[in-house]
Amino acid sequence: MDREMRGEVRLRYSGFILFLSRLISVGTGLLFVLIVTRNISPDEFGLFGNLGDTLGYFTLAATIVPFWTTRFSARKHPGTSRTGLIANLFLSAIFSLLYLSLLSTIITMLKIGEAYRIVYAFLTFQIIEAYAISELEAILLAEQPHSMGFGFLIYEASKVAAAFFLIMELRLGLLGAVCSVIFAYTVQIAFYLKLAAHNLGDEIKWGYVKEWIKASPINLYNIAGQRLASFVLILLFVYGGELARAYYGAASTIATVISYSSFLAYALYPRLLSRSSPEDVSVSLRMVLMFTMPMTVGAIILSDSYLTILNPVYRDARLILLFLSMNNASSNLTYVFSSIVMGSEKLDAEGKIVFKGLVKSGFFLVYSLPFIQSAFMLPVTYFTLTTMVKGGIEAATAVSLIILIANTAILFVVYAIARKYIRFGIPWNSLTKYVFASTVMAVTLYLFPSPTRLTATLALTLLGAVVYFAVLSAIDRETRAIVRSAKRTLPSLFGTKTET
């Protein structure tokens, strides 16, 4: 097998491990959400979503050092891993102290009751964990990206076990949900440290930190754009209320599963850091589209059932789920195109970064897009929530539609930028087959009444998957090869081998 074929197999192997781990975790993730939604009120579930939104503003710098760690590690610069971990833990301490100093202001500004002060205080631990995990995953991404699939499964299993004990046994409610996440991240960090230990013994290279700091404005620019765009959810919480955020959160819980398809292309970025290959891009696109298409259609057709098993109160969020499903499908392709730009950029290939070059790079082009999104989303969202909608369901529906429109427009822009780096084509022939198989699946699912019980919903979901792949395997030779590859990959998820 030649070098390119070996690269393609590694690309698919890493993608399948990450994707299949996410699919397996759907069960544990659903179980966790069920434990939470069945034991706290919708208003508290809205607060749970807001906790995540708030956390995001204090993990702003969590990806700056990891971004460069992956790039330096993939290009074999010694001492990168240990240097990056120490630097990121130092940043976590700074932002944890900043969060604690602003805690009272945050609670007052968001009009949160004093009874929840302790819950928000516990976010401090998550801030530290977020920085640690971000750096450890960056280290692993450079040489063994599939290992993050195992780490995610460990996180999910630990979270459910902790939630069962803290929420159902000790009746800690919202605090129990937060502590469950903290415990699960701790276990995940321990696992990552074991895998990355052989990379952490090298000498610290403070010269790398100097280069990363010099280049950090471009990362901060990216982070600022992302946070600005995500402020739309803060507007939803403030002007739409806790219930609107809960409706959005419930629909997002289901739609997020579609985004797991993007992990099939997760290894594309580190692959492109070492060599440019249009074939790798083509493989990644086909893999992502093959799973994104049926998952999007399935989420829409079975939306009533999925929302009902979360909690019958969320059944009215069907239109929200439709918009968010389409949005996540669009985001999957945006992720692939962004990976092409980031992986193909050679600005830092020699371990030296020239700031003037950053402004002319693909980084700057891609990182400018969230500001364009925000220029549309924020004023439109504010106007809509304050003048046009009434009630939580209308507010959440309007915001999900606004997000879909903005992200779809960005998809076409990122595609145009990516084409300047690698001349690749859209696999229209394969896409046509995926659409046909998804249509047959949709008709089959539509013939059955919408189930309201968990077991019946899962059974119908499995039937849809079987129909889709049966049809696709009959008309697409590559699908048959991928199914065989998946069969070889599955044992890795239940064994102990983690080598590439």
Lowest mean pLDDT of 245-249, 304-308, 343-347, name the range.
343-347
Q: Which residues contact 77 (CB under 8 A, 6 or more apart)?
A: 205, 208, 351
Mean pLDDT of 315-330: 94
At 45-77, the pLDDT tens digits run: 888 888 888 888 898 889 899 999 988 888 778
| pTM listed for this prediction | 0.79
Question: Is there a contact between 265 and 288 (Cβ–Cβ < 8 Å)?
Answer: yes
User: Residues 59, 125: contact at Cβ < 8 Å?
Assistant: no
For 359, the domain range is 3-494
Local confidence band at 493 (pLDDT 50, 70, 90 cut-offs): low
Over residues 175-187, mean pLDDT: 95
Give how far Cα 98 sits from Cα of 59, 118, 128, Å: 11, 16, 12
Confidence tier at 408 by pLDDT (50, 70, 90)? very high
Residue 130 CA to its chain's centroid (Å): 14
User: Is 184 a residue whose pLDDT tops 90?
Assistant: yes
Place of tokens 């589209």: 289
Distance CA 63, CA 112 (A): 29
Number of other CB atoms surrounding residue 454 within 10 Å: 15
Q: Specify if 134 maps to a domain.
A: yes
Predicted pLDDT at 3? 39
The pLDDT value recorded for residue 4 is 37
- Mean pLDDT computed over 122-135: 95
Residue count (the chain): 500
The answer to whether position 500 is within a domain reads no
pLDDT per residue as tens digits for the range 241-258: 888 988 998 899 899 989
The three-state DSSP-derived secondary structure of 169-238 is HCCCHHHHHHHHHHHHHHHHHHHHHHHHHHHCCCCCCHHHHHHHHHHHHHHHHHHHHHHHHHHHHHHHHH
**Is the distance from CB of 301 to CB of 449 less than 8 angstroms?**
no
Contact present, 47 and 116 (Cβ < 8 Å): yes
pLDDT at residue 369, rounded to an integer? 93
pLDDT band at 492 (very low <50, low <70, confident <90, very high): low
Task: Of 51-55, 131-135, 176-180, give the lowest mean pLDDT range.
Answer: 51-55
Res. 486 pLDDT band, cuts 50 70 90:
low
**How many domains does the chain divide into?**
1
DSSP letter, residue 311 = -
Whether residue 2 contacts residue 8, with contact meaning beta carbons closer than 8 Å, is answered with no
Higher pLDDT, 273 or 438: 438
Does a structural domain hold residue 276? yes
Instruction: Note the pLDDT of residue 439.
Output: 96
* Low-confidence winner among 247-256, 410-419, 435-444, 485-494 (lowest mean pLDDT): 485-494
Residue 471 domain-assigned (yes or no) = yes
Determine the Cα–Cα distance for residues 465 and 473; give it in Å rounded to an integer: 12
The verdict on residue 499 lying in a domain is: no
Per-residue pLDDT averaged across 432-448, rounded? 94
Q: Cβ–Cβ contacts within 10 Å for residue 229, how many?
A: 23
